[in-house]
Structure 1
Amino acid sequence: MSLAVSRLSISFRLALREMRGGLSGFYIFLACIALGTGAIAAVNSVSRSITEAIAGQGQEILAGDIRLELNNREASQQERSFLDSLGQVSVTTGLRSMARKPDGSDQALVEVKAVDGAYPLYGSFKAEPDKPLAELLGKRGETFGAVVAPLLLERLGLKQGDELLLGNARIILNGTIINEPDSLSDGFGFAPRLLLSRDALAASGLVSTGSLVEHAYKIRLKDPANRSALTARANSEFPSAGWSVRTSDRAAPSLAENVDRFSQFLTLVGLTALIVGGVGVANAVRAFLDAKRTTIATFKCLGAPAAVVTQIYLIQIMMLAIIGITIGVAIGAAAPFIALQFLEGVLPVPKEVTFYPSALAVAALFGLLITFAFAVLPLGHAREVPATALFREQSFDAARLPSWPYLLAAGLALTALAALAIFSAEDRFVASVFLAAVAGAFILLRLVAALISAIARRSPRVNSPALRLAIANIHRPGALTPSVVLSLGLGLALLVTLALIDGNMRRQLTGNIADKAPNFFFVDIQGPEREGFVSILKQQSPKGVVTQVPMLRGRILAFNGKDVAQMNVPPAGRWVLRGDRGITYEEKLPERSIVTEGKWWPADYSGEPSVSFSAEEASELGLKLGDTVTVNVLGRNITARIANFRKVEWESLSINFVMVFSPNTFRGAPHAWLATLSDPAATAQQEAQILRAVTNAYPTITSVRVKDAISIVDQLIGQLATAIRAAAAVALIASVLVLSGALAAGNRARTHDAIILKTLGATRNMLIRAFSYEYMILGAATAVFALFAGGVSAWFVVSRIMKLPSTFLPDVAIVTLAASLLLTVGIGLAGTWRILGQKAAPVLREL
């Protein structure tokens, strides 16, 4: 034990002495480690700050300590008495409707929110002008006050003081919304907010039996510490209420979950950048040891054990890695202070930004594991080469694989790295698939490099000396082929994957989906209005196809009698159980639906309530034929048995439901109707006329123009794509750094080759052409791999996960090929230009 400690002490002293020479040759090493570590630290720190802000500001986000939400009905007298006993109650009602100008010349979809005098219980509502909310929403004569999102004024060309019609109510716009504290807990809206009083909403006539309305009861508890127990109490005392309960410690669970998922994705992209940087670590370590070959030989000749030599340089490398990791951690620590300035107003941000040691520690651990895993093999090479060979050879390229302890150490480090990535991820399956894909890409890239070398070795002799030299450089011992292919391949493949996914999604939204989708959705059509409503559509669009279905809202409570809140549901199926779902009943199988298992009920079915479940969602939830589903509809719990599964084409944007019930299930239940109008030949002017005619004749019917909704989603995807491209750029920058390091690592051997060739009569122009050909061949081959690997990965994500048609986009191929050639040729020539200017005599004396 004392001998090992003594050797370690000697190794440490010698390592410190050698480091007095500075960091020459390790700047790219430091950049790779700092970049990857910084990306992971920054993403996790920003994510942690947002999730902690959601939890810390839960009362303001929820505008209460607890929120109980009912769909399509208000609380009964008994339920309201129970809520009042808990503390101060504020009631808000939300729905979508059409707001129109008094002269009927224009209209727009709005997210209506009606509030009472107690709103908000927490936080502060701000408007422009800054007046009390009661004054802004007050009634003057027959006109009710309201405040709106500035976007609504822009869409309708209005200004403060103008009037609008909402249903049967006349509204005056007294101001614009600056801050709505509980907007995040209300969920994502497709339209601008219109906030008014509950009296104004009642006067509008928009709320009737079967209307799609959400009533939220927000409570300022007498004892906030008791909020967690109240969820179970509310459900046990009123088992048929069907309300959705949220507490302030989980004010926006969907937002928090989405932030976690997105940060996981960006973390994995950052990890890819760090793994790409690991290749740079290996190149830098190999070049460093190559430069130290005489020192290593001297150590060995003086009797230093191989283990001591290995320890000396491992200590140096890990100390340098700590410097790079420290830089990366500093970047990650500063990220929340910078990023949250841009996110304020979009997402919850902490009032006082702080550091997040656990996020920084995870990033630092990633950096240490990557450094060790990629440095230990070159160190093993140096250990195995005898001193006599080191004095004779130019480098370690001829060395065999290191002994098994080094291989085992690298394997254990990579295993620990994978375990850390998987167990720190929100979705471990996705993390596992991602890491498996990266590992597969590394193997493929090694095979691609070997294939390129084999093809070059067997290629026919060409007449051009420059091209012949370039081909020889590709397959000669110590060639740059593996380094260049590894350096660029993974980063370009990731970039192609993300670009193809983004391109396919946009293509579907603006092309196929938009073409298949109906022109309009019409919601809240009451039974007595149906005939006149359809008549208007036929007049305005004679060739249009009108589809109508009954529409109810229900929340899934249980499967086979088991509370869904107690079930461990896979992430892919959670959306079905989150909040309430649209449901319907049908006598016949809906159009564009195919029964995949079971049978559809007969037309005159009158037996046990039955339900048809979407096959894909049922599979994600683990359901099978014969299972029971309990849903709460209008305050009643209804249990139905799964009679069949059906395939649903969600991408068509036609009327589709996760659950379709047999008609006898809801016989006599009050409900509204949902309708679509499909007219591919309709122009924008005709659509505007249809919208105007329906809104003026039936102001309580909500009309949604599908192209407007698609445009909003496209903008959201664009914002996400920008963040994803930024993350992918980090991986690409790491690839460029690694490529630069790989070329720098081979510069000494390149210098010797160039000097000898120039001595034998080669001109600088010929050498430049030779190097250009070499880099172009390697860049083009790497681009082909990136296109193949990225195309396959994008196809899997788009077609198998997103369930959308996947198309290869040629423009992405061209850009990738151009980027690959530009990077390899540009960086390669920049690195070799200095070499070509070296004087021959000093180099020849070293040979």
Structure 2
Amino acid sequence: MNAWRLTLRLLRQDWRSGELYLLSAALVLTVAAITAVGFFTDRVEATLERQGSELIAADLALESSQPLDVRFSAEAQARGLRSARTLEFRSVVMGERPQLVLMKAVDPDYPLRGQLRISEAPDAPDRPVDSGPPVGEVWVESRLLRLLDLRIGDSLSVGEARLRLGAILTDEPDQGRSFFNIAPRVLMNRADLDATGLIGPASRVTHRLLIAGAATAIDAYRDWAGTRLAANVTLTDALEARPEFGSAVERASRFLHLATLVTLLVAGAAIALASQRLVERQTDAVAVMRCLGAPRHLLMRVLIGRLVLFGLAASLIGCLLGWLGQAGLLAALADWLGTDLPPASPAPVLVGLATGLITLLGFAVPPLIQLARVPPLRAIRRDLGTPRVSAALALGAAGLALALLILWQAQDLELGLKLLGGVLATLLALIGVVRLLVHLAGRLAGRARGVWRLGLAALTRRPGAAVLQIAGFGIGILALLLLAVVRVDLLESWRETLPEGAPNYFLINIQPHEVEPLRAFLNDSGIATARLHPMISGRLTRIGERAVEPSDYDDPRAERLASREFNLSYGTEPQSDNRIVAGRWWTEGAEAAPQFSVESGIAETLGIALGDTLTFWVSGHEVSGPVTSLREVRWDSFNVNFFVVASPALLRDEAATFITSFHLPAEREAVVAELARRFPSVTTLDVEAILGQVRQVIDRGVLAVEYVFLFTLGAGLLVMYAGIQASLEQRRAEHGILRTLGAGRRTLLTSLAVEFTAAGLLAGLLASVFAEATGWLLAEQIFELEFGFNPGLWAVGVLGSGLAIGLAGTLATYPLLIHPPLRALRGGSN
């Protein structure tokens, strides 16, 4: 009880005296950044995933070629989830002539996510609707009207029923889940299905059960359903439905977590510097307590207890500010992000409290340990100074805290390990280079004269403090420069992964005899860059000598891939958005040799290695060839791409259709109408809506990252302020002695400007080097983006930091020159 009473009393005294203000500011900012990011990313990422749900018209979709067991819908209803059924099948409708169509029968609640869009005439603007067609009515794609010469209001024979053409179907949320729809789409009410007589026991029908609801309930339902799926049933969520959309969401998440970790690192440096200042100001009080008989173990309990109580209080304040910060941002951007964002979970509060305590203990405990070692004699002999903390202990504790927080906050082991290695290497290199530069500054001070010598010598009189101070400055400036690198360079590169000219139309089901006439038509229409790719369906049957069985895979995605047919292609060279990461692409001289190139992600999922022989069942026979290269594919480029590509000799003689993609401005849509007239069997798929969704993901991700880096900016400024404040106690005594020896205020003020400007230039030089290196590593190794070196960054980093720190440091220490030197020598405060 005595220890706790003493802890509370000292904590109250420290707060009243202002001893904890700097440390509390650093800790509150750290926790506020972590919790604000936690709340904000929770809600934004949930929104991004919900936006992805529009691609499958639900949060989850169960799909099968057989009617789905009723227990799946019953369980969804029992869990309070919404559900809807759809059936898709090919059929023939009758107008002036028979026409193959893709029929889709839907429940009244379809779609569960997103909206349908319809128009009343081919040239009329479309409008959104929340449900499908009423009973007795169908909605059709406009090209069906052209093919059958029909108009809205006419009747369409669908099996044994005649249904009214009620509207033109311009968009379905889940239309883009598959490019390979070879017929016009017809949407009907499921209640009309029995009257058509089209579905029998042997009919080829795709049954889908759509599920939507709260995220926690969806996760629980996914876990429940995942263990009860039959071999012919697949379970799909939004990010699995489209790889290019999943790529955009994953990259947005990585940017957000990176911004969080940078803030954490910089604020940790501020806490370390603030702790050093706190130790210097507490040394006398601890020495008096030692004189009064306080044992070391009591002091340690009091110091640690005071730190924990202070940490909890500051962390709670940080959590509150984090909540207010994210709420204010969301309120300001309600029109863009939407007012119906899902609520944040309470998890970020627990994360913020834990992060605050771990950060405080990791960065502040080592300096406090040295306080317990203050000798009683320090109370009367000020020249004894403060006991030096073990460098190994300080670095070890800080490194352990950083490792724990980085691996925890990254939420991605690979990203966390890369960042941890990069951070530790950067810190060690930074400290090593700073020590070298301080040593060189000392050599230069010996040759300088006047205030230049006095200012440079100040860096070498306290080499340990100078290293800590310049390293702190460097980390703060590095944070600000990374803000420029990530916010401007990397985010702009991310935007450029989906340029304005990205393909927005796909042509599929192109027959071999139509390739040359279609290529000529596209060339005449100014679409000369379109490349036609052959496409052959094949089922993977063996990897080496091992038969491919879906039941052999534990990963649900691998199981689905093993049970489906692949769309194979062949070519003489890889596409521009493909990068060979292992092996070699075949050359013209080796064209006759059967070879495969496999996308690296699917190779990892299915356990395919370089050199393995793949066997596919194609058109009633087997084709085999070794894997000679692995490729990384930029799925978010929206170009035609394939998981598996073969050398021409391997598949050139197989029956194939062709596919291509191209960009067409909105004002040239007449080209599409003319293409449909001249090539009626070719299916045109407009993916502009999907492109818009992916661009929206990127824009929202960029906005979120910019917001998170506001905390990084604050942390960077705070760590520079803490670096200036860390040496004030020593400077007070030094300036008192120098003024006693006759140094004038102007001389000392000029020497301060020289010292801080030199420190700023050194810190800016180091920060510029590390910012460029970090930006390059992030772009190349983590985000897979192009990175261009920025010479302007060096000018801003070096000259700007020299000017800013020189001015800020001079102004912050100027009050030391105002008071009489006797006051400083007696230990008086400002």
> Considering the TM-score relative to the shorter chain, is it more than 0.5?
yes
**For 1:782-819, what per-residue CA distance to the aligned partner results, in whole angstroms no more than 9, with x for missing partners?**
12212222222222232344555543111233333355
Indicate the residue corresponding to 2:85 in structure 1. 89
2:2 matches 1:21: no
Indicate the residue corresponding to 1:130 in structure 2. none
**For 1:31-67, what per-residue CA distance to the aligned partner results, in whole angstroms no more than 9, with x for missing partners?**
1111111222232334445677899999999656962
Return the offset for 1:457: 0.9
Match of 1:217 among 176, 200, 208: 208
Q: Give distance in 2, aligned partners of 1:754 and 1:176.
A: 84
Match of 2:293 among 292, 303, 306: 303
Return the offset for 1:615: 6.0
Indicate the residue corresponding to 2:343 in structure 1. 353
Partners of 2:142 and 2:168 within 8 A in 1: no
2:25 matches 1:31: yes
Indicate the residue corresponding to 1:492 in structure 2. 477
Q: Give distance in 2, aligned partners of 1:512 and 1:145.
A: 31
Indicate the residue corresponding to 1:98 in structure 2. none
Secondary structure in 1 aligned to 2:370?
helix
Match runs of 1:743-762 below 5 Å: 743-762=724-743
Indicate the residue corresponding to 1:467 in structure 2. 452
Match of 1:147 among 127, 133, 137: 127
Return the offset for 1:458: 0.6
The letter of the residue matching 1:450 is R
Which has the higher mean CA deviation after the structures are superposed, 459-468 or 771-780?
459-468
Change (3 A) 1:363 1:819: farther
**For 1:71-114, what per-residue CA distance to the aligned partner results, in whole angstroms no more than 9, with x for missing partners?**
xxxx8xxx3556899776324799xxxxxxxxxxxxxxxxx999
Partners of 1:610 and 1:641 within 8 A in 2: yes
Partners of 1:521 and 1:703 within 8 A in 2: yes
Match runs of 1:152-301 below 5 Å: 168=146, 183=173, 198=187, 217-219=208-210, 235-236=230-231, 238=232, 244-246=234-236, 262=252, 266-267=256-257, 269-301=259-291
2:574 matches 1:596: no
Partners of 2:55 and 2:177 within 8 A in 1: no
Partners of 2:66 and 2:206 within 8 A in 1: no
Which has the higher mean CA deviation after the structures are superposed, 489-498 or 166-175?
166-175
Q: Give distance in 2, aligned partners of 1:786 and 1:432.
A: 22
Structure 2: stretches of 5+ with no match in the other structure: 74-83, 91-100, 130-140, 153-164, 190-204, 213-217
Match runs of 1:400-799 below 5 Å: 400-402=388-390, 407=393, 411=396, 414-415=399-400, 418-419=403-404, 421-422=406-407, 425-459=410-444, 461=446, 465-477=450-462, 481-497=466-482, 499-500=484-485, 504-505=489-490, 523-524=507-508, 526-527=510-511, 528-540=513-525, 544=528, 547-551=531-535, 560-561=546-547, 583-586=567-570, 588=572, 596=583, 611-614=596-599, 618=603, 622-625=607-610, 627=612, 642-645=626-629, 656-661=641-646, 669=655, 671-674=657-660, 702=684, 717=698, 719-799=700-780
Q: Give distance in 2, aligned partners of 1:575 and 1:500.
A: 41
Q: Give distance in 1, aligned partners of 2:245 and 2:562.
A: 12
Q: Give distance in 1, aligned partners of 2:517 and 2:301.
A: 87
Indicate the residue corresponding to 2:198 in structure 1. none
Partners of 1:272 and 1:438 within 8 A in 2: no
Q: Give distance in 2, aligned partners of 1:368 and 1:665.
A: 62
**For 1:553-573, what per-residue CA distance to the aligned partner results, in whole angstroms no more than 9, with x for missing partners?**
789899654567975779xx9
**For 1:154-198, what per-residue CA distance to the aligned partner results, in whole angstroms no more than 9, with x for missing partners?**
xxxxxxxxx9878837899999999x9x95x778999xxxx9953
2:800 matches 1:814: no
The letter of the residue matching 1:817 is V
Partners of 1:269 and 1:731 within 8 A in 2: yes
Return the offset for 1:340: 5.5
The letter of the residue matching 1:808 is F
Return the offset for 1:530: 2.6
Match of 1:363 among 352, 363, 367: 352
Return the offset for 1:275: 3.8
The letter of the residue matching 1:551 is M
Change (3 A) 1:13 1:443: same
Return the offset for 1:661: 3.5
**For 1:318-353, what per-residue CA distance to the aligned partner results, in whole angstroms no more than 9, with x for missing partners?**
322222111122234556655655787877997873
Change (3 A) 1:126 1:694: closer
Secondary structure in 1 aligned to 2:235?
strand
Q: Give distance in 2, aligned partners of 1:382 and 1:691.
A: 78
Secondary structure in 1 aligned to 2:109?
coil
Partners of 2:239 and 2:245 within 8 A in 1: no
The letter of the residue matching 1:382 is L
Q: Give distance in 1, aligned partners of 2:35 and 2:573.
A: 52
Change (3 A) 1:548 1:51: closer
The letter of the residue matching 2:423 is V
Secondary structure in 2 aligned to 1:807?
coil
Which has the higher mean CA deviation after the structures are superposed, 475-484 or 617-626?
617-626
Secondary structure in 2 aligned to 1:379?
helix
Which has the higher mean CA deviation after the structures are superposed, 257-266 or 480-489?
257-266
2:109 matches 1:120: yes
Partners of 2:46 and 2:342 within 8 A in 1: no
Indicate the residue corresponding to 2:80 in structure 1. none
Q: Give distance in 2, aligned partners of 1:114 and 1:187.
A: 16
Q: Give distance in 1, aligned partners of 2:246 and 2:57.
A: 17
Secondary structure in 1 aligned to 2:362?
helix
Change (3 A) 1:511 1:197: closer
Change (3 A) 1:616 1:475: farther
Secondary structure in 1 aligned to 2:32?
helix
Secondary structure in 2 aligned to 1:373?
helix
Return the offset for 1:705: 11
Secondary structure in 1 aligned to 2:372?
helix
Tell me the TM-score normalised to structure 2 length. Answer: 0.72
The letter of the residue matching 2:436 is L
Partners of 1:549 and 1:673 within 8 A in 2: yes
Return the offset for 1:450: 1.2
Q: Give distance in 2, aligned partners of 1:765 and 1:827.
A: 17
Secondary structure in 2 aligned to 1:459?
helix
Q: Give distance in 2, aligned partners of 1:781 and 1:266.
A: 30
Q: Give distance in 1, aligned partners of 2:370 and 2:381.
A: 16
Q: Give distance in 1, aligned partners of 2:712 and 2:465.
A: 21
Return the offset for 1:586: 2.5
Q: Give distance in 2, aligned partners of 1:117 and 1:382.
A: 73
**For 1:274-330, what per-residue CA distance to the aligned partner results, in whole angstroms no more than 9, with x for missing partners?**
343333333333333322333222222232222222333332233222221111222
The alignment of Structure 1 onto Structure 2 pairs a total of residues equal to 748
Change (3 A) 1:628 1:344: farther
Partners of 1:628 and 1:641 within 8 A in 2: yes
What's the % identity of the aligned pairs?
Answer: 21
Q: Give distance in 1, aligned partners of 2:694 and 2:816.
A: 53
Which is bigger in relative contact order (C-alpha 8 A, separation at least 6)?
1
Indicate the residue corresponding to 1:387 in structure 2. 376
Which has the higher mean CA deviation after the structures are superposed, 227-236 or 784-793?
227-236
Change (3 A) 1:631 1:752: farther
Structure 1: stretches of 5+ with no match in the other structure: 1-8, 70-74, 95-111, 128-132, 150-162, 201-213, 678-682
Q: Give distance in 1, aligned partners of 2:505 and 2:239.
A: 36
Return the offset for 1:824: 1.5
**For 1:711-754, what per-residue CA distance to the aligned partner results, in whole angstroms no more than 9, with x for missing partners?**
99777545433432433332332232122223223223323334
The letter of the residue matching 1:426 is Q
Return the offset for 1:368: 0.9
